[in-house]
Amino acid sequence: MAAGDRPLNEVKFLTVAEVASVMRVSKMTVYRLVHSGHLPAIRVGRSFRVPEQAVHEYLRESFVGWGPRSERAARRRKVREDPGRPPGEPDIALGLRPGCSGR
């Protein structure tokens, strides 16, 4: 057993409806996450059960945060403010037109 793994009898499983409630999304969104492999699940008969810890890990990894903008947004801002680009020239990489803020 790897470090951090718990015995199966200690794992708490959630139904798709319970996962949807925790994540505040629709059940269809949970099914999509399960079928795409983003959220691990086991099949019990015709229904799925998702380990509670997997839901918390997925949310933790997906968390964007409230702090400073992401690196991607910072790069976009840098490209827009690039002094090497003539004023009014569109940024082809971002698909921006002159005078367009990109928002």
Summarize pLDDT for 9-46 with one digit per residue, the tens.
888 999 999 999 999 999 999 999 999 999 999 999 99
Name which residue leads in pLDDT, 2 or 51.
51
Gap between the Cα atoms of 84 and 66, Å rounded:
32
**Rama region for 27: left / alpha / beta (φ>0; ψ in -120 to 50; rest):** alpha
In tens, the pLDDT along 39-83 reads 999 999 999 999 999 999 999 988 776 655 556 555 555 555 555
Longest Cα pair distance anywhere in the chain, in angstroms?
A: 65
Gap between the Cα atoms of 52 and 19, Å rounded:
8
In this prediction, residues 1-10 reach a mean pLDDT of 65
At 29, give phi and psi (nearest 5°).
-65, -40
Give the CA dihedral 47, 48, 52, 57, nearest 10 degrees. Answer: -150
The pair of structure tokens assigned to 98 is 């002159």
The pair of structure tokens assigned to 33 is 């996450």
Burial of 88 (0-12, 13-18, 19+ CB in 10 A): exposed
